[in-house]
Chains A and B, each alone.
Chain A
Amino acid sequence: MNRGLFVATSLSAIGLAGCASVKRTLTDGPFRDVLLSTEKLNRAVIGTHGLAREYAPSDIDHTFRVNSLDTPSDDAYTSMALDGFRRYRLAVDGRVERAQQLSLAELRAAGTRTQITRHDCVEGWSQIGEWAGVPLATVLAMARPTRDARFCVFHCLDSDQSGTRYYESLDLTQAAHPQTILALDLNGKPLDADHGAPVRLKIPTQLGYKSAKWVQRIELVAALKPIGGGNGGYWEDQGYEWYAGI
């Protein structure tokens, strides 16, 4: 082996061996704040503008992928499901003038919107489904957020292995978007248990993890810090961006 090749091979070997710890230090060390800062820039530049594309019925995926924490299986959820969710009430509270407890019948009576949109998962895959439900703006108008309300927090019925509950949040601009709906139906049928029955959020202008399933309560808050891990959502608490438009 000539000297140049030997030096090059040795350097590559040291580089590869050192790489794992270098990558770890760069990701979790002092540079982390810089890594996290891009999100603010993306949110400021991209924001929430325009409408997600709506598709034709022929584009619909009739087998819709299930990709979430485990479907709730506790007694409370199961008995509510067996009863056709007649006892379900969606709570809307927090910084509102008129807290609400809405039944499924009341939600449907508020006026629904049907949209065939593409669901874009953060993992990279996409599927198309037809969601029907009440625009979130309609529900918020019923509850009348107070002036200091800045975010809607969606408290959900599902939890992970350690018992941590799923939750998500949107700012009021995202909440007011006409395609942001509290979905009740998927592909013409009431949501089944795996797809978030009886009520899930559907926001096609953001990545899939924002569209929380099994929504039980919407809390209007002034700040996200005091809730959960403080980052505005279950996945956000594990390092994913709160702004999921990109």
Chain B
Amino acid sequence: MKIIYRHHVAARLAHWIWALAILVLVMSGLQIFNAAPYLDASDKSDPARRVLAFDAERTATGPAGYTVVFGRRVRTTHVLGYADDGFGAEGVRAFPAWLTLPGPQDLADGRRWHLLFAWVLFVSWVAYLLAAAAHGTLRDLVLRPRDVARAGPMLLYYLRVRREPPAHGTYNPLQKITYNVVVFVFFPLLMLTGLALSPGIDAAAPWLTPLLGGRQFARTWHFTLMVLLIGYFATHLALVVSTGFLNNMRSMVTGWYVLGRHDGVGP
């Protein structure tokens, strides 16, 4: 059994701060979204360019909630459109109260949570990058051409076509690609698309909002990136559980990790 010190303290701290920040940002973001439960691919609001909407209506069998994706209407009563209102009943709400922060409809406090944890994410992101760069561990994370070349063999290993994983460092090639996308693409884009919604930012940095297709489009990108991040989180969780849950958790808390058969050792 070979034990290695896998995660530097900066990475472990950043990991848990980000996990908390993303949880709060998603829940408060859904609270904010509920105040205008539709997304348009345009600058100003434009129902003709609506890509997603939630609504509710009375039917013979009681109130019904709907999700409208690119004009296709799907009944989603009790879950989306007409759902938990946070007071033990149901009401017209895009996302249910159990998913939002605060629970009941409260745009003002939803914004307070969201803007505070946007700062938490931004500051911890910058601090992590500086600490990891200073310590040298950022090199283990940053994607190199050889990682891309090894992504195919690693995928074959995951699919059980290949018996051995390709040689790799702290993170395997697919992990590296994924983490690079999250840390260097999703995070900055989430911050920029969020900032692009603000009239003060739009005046101070007038290049940003038009670059994203306008304010409503920026809102659509911001939401889309959240969906992608949740997709990442689900995959991440599945892999954490399936590749030795306790070993993975211990390494993300203490730093120490027991090398297993999945870990191709090499440069």
Contact = CB atoms under 8 A, between A and B. Distances in A.
Contact of B98 (A19, A34, A245): A19
A241 interface: yes
B119 A38 contact: yes
Nearest to B116: A38
A100 interface: no
Contact of B198 (A46, A123, A235): A46
Given A27-B113, A38-B119, A241-B111, A126 B215 contact: yes
Interface in A8-49: 16, 19-20, 23-24, 27, 34-39, 41-42, 46-49
A126 B44 contact: yes
B54 interface: no
B136 interface: no
Given A24-B102, A118-B43, A123 B199 contact: no
Interface centre among A38, A47, A120, A126 (most CB of B within 10 A): A126
Given A50-B204, A127-B45, A122 B35 contact: yes
A245 B112 contact: no
B33 interface: yes
B83 to A, nearest CB: 14
B112 A52 contact: no
B140 interface: no
B203 interface: yes
B94 to A, nearest CB: 11
B219 interface: yes
Contact of B36 (A20, A123, A205): A123
Contacts of A127: 44-45
Question: Could you say which interface size class chain A belongs to?
Answer: 35 or more
Contact of B203 (A23, A35, A49, A239): A49
Contact of A35 (B116, B205, B206, B215): B116
A36 B112 contact: yes
Given A20-B98, A23-B102, A204-B199, A118 B215 contact: yes
Interface residues of B, number: 39
A41 B115 CA distance: 10
Contacts of A238: 108
A141 interface: no
B207 to A, nearest CB: 11
A215 B113 CA distance: 32
Interface in B89-135: 97-98, 101-103, 106-109, 111-113, 115-116, 119
Given A50-B204, A61-B44, A121 B36 contact: yes
Contacts of A59: 44
A29 B148 CA distance: 49
A128 interface: yes
A240 B115 CA distance: 12
B114 to A, nearest CB: 9
A125 interface: yes
Contacts of B33: 124
B32 A239 contact: no
B201 interface: yes
A46 B201 contact: yes
B164 interface: no
A27 B198 contact: no
B200 interface: yes
Nearest to A240: B108
Contacts of B32: 124
A51 interface: yes
Given A24-B103, A246-B201, A38 B215 contact: no
B44 to A, nearest CB: 5
Interface in A109-134: 118, 120-128
Given A41-B119, A50-B203, A52-B203, 16 more contacts: A19-B103, A20-B103, A34-B116, A36-B112, A46-B204, A118-B215, A123-B35, A124-B35, A124-B36, A126-B43, A205-B203, A207-B199, A239-B108, A240-B108, A244-B199, A246-B201
7 contacts: A16-B98, A23-B102, A37-B116, A125-B36, A125-B216, A239-B106, A239-B108
User: Which 7 residue pairs spanning A and B have beta carbons closest together?
Assistant: A245-B200, A124-B36, A239-B108, A123-B35, A246-B198, A50-B203, A49-B204
